[in-house]
Structure 1
Amino acid sequence: MGRLWLFFVVASIGMALRFLVLGKFEWGQLLIVSGFLAGVLLIWGIERWQAWRDASYEGAEDEDVWHTHMAERFWTGKKRLFKGTKKMGEFWRFFPLPWQRIVNSILSDQNQWYLNLSFAFADGTSVQIIEQREKLFRVNDTWHIVQNGAVVAVARTDYSWKNKLKLRERMIVEIQGKTLFFQSPEMVSRTEVWLDGKMIAEGKRSRLLRWRYTFRVNEGYEEWERLLVAAYVLFNYAYHQ
C-alpha cells in the first residue's frame, strides 16, 4: 500500500505542476491518479478488515494447544493468544521510530523490515522481540528475545543454500545455552521445533481457516513455553507463512 500511496502523491504533484506551468489538463491523467487512490483505499480496507478479524478472534482447542489468528502483519493492532478456551494474552507489532513504518511500507516487499513484536501474557509475563539491525541490507535477520526486561534468548533466520536446496525455511533460537531449530518445509503449513535431535514442539496453520495458527509444546518444556510461543509467532512473521 505504501508504494501505491507514493505513486498517488507523485502523480498528483506532477499533474498539478503540469496544469500550473503549462496550463494543460488531461482526463486520462486524472483517471490514472484516481486509480492509484482507489487501490490505496481498497488495500487499506482489506488490511483493516484483517486486523479486525485478528483482534476479535475467539476459538477453542485442546487444553494444551495454543492458538491465535494472524491475517494482517503490517499494522500495530493487538492479536489474541489462547490456550484451549482460555485467553492467555495478546501480542502486537511495533516500530520504535515512526519513519521505520514508512520505509517498511515503501521498500519492503512483504513488510519484513523493522520487525519487532511485543507480548503481554495474562500471568504478567512480558516478552519483547527486538530486531538487531546494523545494516539496512543483509542476508539473515537477528533478534533479541527479552523477557521481563532481560535478554534471555537470541533468534536469527537461517537463509543458506543448504536450506534452499532442501526447500526448507529455518530459524535458529538460542536459549540458556541450548540451540533450537524452528523449521518448516516450503509450501507446507507446519512448523517443527527441534532440540538435540528431538522434536519438542509443533505448530500448524489451518487449511480451512488460513490465518488460524496452533502450537503445541511437549511436556517437560513448560519453562520455555511462552518463549517458544513468541518465537513461533516471529517465525511466521519472518517467513511470511
Structure 2
Amino acid sequence: MGRLLTLFVVGTIGLLLRFLIKGEFELDQLLLLFLFPVASVVILLIKNNQIKKDAQFQPNGDAYDIQTRMAERFSTSKKVATKGDTILGNYHRFHKKGWHKLLTNIMDSPGKFYINFEFNFPSRFKFVEVKEHAIIGNSKWEVYEDDRLTGTIETDYSVKNATNLKEKLILQYGEDTYIFHSFGVGSETKVEHDQLEVARGTRKKGAVYGLTVTEAYKDHESLLFAVFILFNYVFEQ
C-alpha cells in the first residue's frame, strides 16, 4: 500500500512538471495514476480485515503446543498466541521511530527492515534490533526477559546457506545455542540444540502457524515460539 501511494505521488509530480515545462497534459495518464490510491484503499480494507482476524484467533485444541495467526505483518496491532484450548498471551511488533514504520511500508517488505517485538506469554520477552541497517549482511537482536538482557538472536546469511537455499536464525540464550532453520517458503522449521531436534514448526492451514516442542524443553517453549515468529517475519515464510 505504501509503495502504491509513493508511486501516485511521484507520478503526480512528474505530470505536473511536464505540464509546467512543456505545457503538455494527458488525461489518460492522470486517470491511470488515480488507480493507485483506489487500489491502496482496497488493500487497506483487506489489511484491516486480516488484522481483525489475527487479533480474534481462538484456541482450537490442536495437537500443536502453541499456535498463532499472522496474516498481516506490517502493523503494530496485537496478535494472539494459543496453547491447546487456552489463550497463552499476545504479542506485537513495534518501531523505535515513527519513520521506521513509514519506510517499512514504502519498501513493502515486512521482514527486511526494523523488526522489533514484545511478547507476553505470560513471561515478557522483548526482541530489540541492534543492527538495523543490515540490507547486506546479518541482522541481530538483543533478547530481554522481564527487562533483563538474557541473549541474542542473529541471522546467518552465509554462502553455504545461500547455496543450499537454507534459512537460518541463531538464538544464544545464556550458555545455550538454538539453531532455527528451514529450506524456504512452505518448509517446516526445525529447532536444534546440541545437534538434537528440540522443536518443529510449520505453517498450517491459511495463515496459522504452530510449533511443537519436545518434553525436555517445555520450560523454554514460550521463548522458542517467540523466536519462531521472528523467523517467519524475517524470512517471510
Alignment of 1:133-212 (within 5 A): 133=131, 135=133, 137-206=135-204, 209-212=205-208
Q: Which moved more, 1:222-231 or 1:173-182?
A: 222-231
Deviations 1:25-53 (A, max 9, x none): 43212212211112212222222222111
Alpha-carbon RMSD across the aligned residues, in angstroms, is: 2.0
Which SS does the other structure have where 2:30 is aligned? helix
Corresponding pairs, count: 237
- Equivalences for residues 78-97 of structure 1 within 5 A: 78-97=78-97
Summarize the Cα distance change of 1:62–1:37 in structure 2 as closer, same or farther, 3 Å threshold: closer
- Give aligned-pair identity as a percent: 35
**Which amino acid counterpart does residue 176 of structure 2 have in structure 1?**
K
| Runs of at least 5 residues in structure 2 that lack an aligned partner in the other structure | none
Give the deviation of 1:17 after TM superposition.
5.4
- Aligned equivalent of 1:233, options 229, 233, 236: 229
C-alpha distance in 2 between matches for 1:82 and 1:160: 34
Cα contact 2:51–2:77 (8 A) shared by 1: yes
Aligned residue type for 1:90 = N
Q: Give the counterpart letter for 1:57 in structure 2.
A: F
Q: TM-score by structure 1 length?
A: 0.90
> Aligned partner of 1:131: which letter?
E
1:114 aligns with 2:114: yes
CA distance in structure 2 between the aligned counterparts of 1:107 and 1:67, rounded to whole angstroms: 28
Q: Compute the displacement of 1:217 (Å).
A: 1.3
Contiguous gaps of at least 5 residues in structure 1: none
Q: Give the aligned partner of residue 8 of structure 2.
A: 8
CA deviation string 1:143-169 (max 9, x = no partner): 111110011121111111211222211
Range with bigger deviation, 166-175 or 86-95: 166-175
Is this contact kept in 1: 2:2–2:108, CA < 8 A?
no
